[in-house]
Amino acid sequence: MSKTVGWTRLDDIPLQGRRILTRVDYNVPIVDGIVQDLTRIERSKPTLDAIITKGGIPIVISHLGRPKSSQDKSYSLKALVQPISDIMGATVWFSDTLLGPEAHATIHRANPGDIVLLENLRFDSREQKNDTAFAAALGELGDVYCNDAFSASHRSHASIVAITRYLPACVGRLMETELNALTQALSRPQRPLFSIVGGSKISTKINLIDHLLDTSDTLFVGGAMANTFRAAQGKSVGLSLVEPEMLDVARTLIAKATHSVCQLVLPIDWTIAAQLDSGSAFEFITDESECPADRMIVDIGPKTSQQIEGWLQKSRTLIWNGPVGAFEIHPFHRGTDALSKAIAALTEQNSLLSFAGGGDTISALNAAQLLDKLTYVSTAGGAFLEWMEGRSLPGIVALMPSKSMRGSK
């Protein structure tokens, strides 16, 4: 694994006989006490394996949901004990408390090869306040702090930021992979860099589009947000989803692109339908055509799909966030499906480095059974988006050697 520039790695710290306070993101869906999706637990396995192999004992901490009090046991991490044990093939000790005698006793019962899981961080209101006293108390539970929760590192919470004042800190395997991938995608991309931003609303992605105009060679805007760009150019959109309050923003972004080295491109044809229902009749219009008043734009058209594939073939790096149509409803999945297949094929041919993220993007790739065919797919949600916007994430800044404590305990 390549060196993660600027951050201390697990391999840089002696772990033998030490307790490793390991921040993960186990914010998983639980129904009737059963974990519905094991992906986040499975993705933490390389870090936990590395700690155990190096002779350390992982003390796992995570948040789950937004409990209103510690009495709301529907948010207890206890439901994760068996899944973690099954995935890791290890004994998992669970503490009903985060701090205090029970937590310390549970930790001291663990043997090498075991894992300790503490109760939901958000059962203590001080977690989300980045409270230093709470962080100090957490620090007493371990000898080393390992952050393996990139997806939570855009939050200034005690287990993400303040904790680094009290323990020597490092990044876990998943965090390291994420940082390397996103740095490669945005900070040191192989060029040409082609970016695709889709989804429904410009309002949630203004900063992303603005930043990608500064860093990309070509930026394609699709999905329902492209309707707002079309309307901003004075073209008809019929019943299409549009953000009227974002028309001036769209015009500003279009104007910026005219003075940028980045080429901003929009669909050249569209799929339209009378309603957004499965099996609805549809037709195509070109960019210059009128969208009838009783029709709505629901997807890109075949000419745009061909044009995108041409850009992909000329590019070396791709950043993708957001579907280019109403992919959840057939037959309006065609544009996003064709895009997914083109990206996967070029990635497999080693002609394209492909990086994607965002819940809808992941869902689209899953639907096409192509999730594992891209160079890297981030599940980090808000953290992924903020990184792509060029923002500094508090949890990442806190891990820099100049910011966090580097002594030994």
Catalytic residues: 40, 201, 359, 382
| 8 Å CB contact between 342 and 318 | no
For residue 376, what is the enclosing H or E element? strand 376-378
Q: How far is CA 158 from the centre of its chain?
A: 21
Quickly count: other Cβ atoms within 10 Å of residue 86's Cβ.
12
Residue 355, SS3 per DSSP: strand
Q: Is 2 exposed, middle or buried (0-12, 13-18, 19+ CB in 10 A)?
A: exposed
Quickly count: other Cβ atoms within 10 Å of residue 192's Cβ.
15
CA atoms of 364 and 47, how far apart (whole Å): 28
CA atoms of 349 and 392, how far apart (whole Å): 34
Please give the C-alpha separations between residue 346 and each of 196, 212, 223, 328, 375, in angstroms, as whole numbers.
15, 22, 22, 24, 10
Give residue 55's region: left, alpha or beta (phi > 0; psi -120 to 50): left
Residue 396, SS3 per DSSP: helix
For residue 313, what is the enclosing H or E element? helix 302-314
Q: How far is CA 86 from the centre of its chain?
A: 25
CA atoms of 223 and 176, how far apart (whole Å): 32
Please give the C-alpha separations between residue 135 and each of 59, 99, 253, in angstroms, as whole numbers.
15, 11, 42
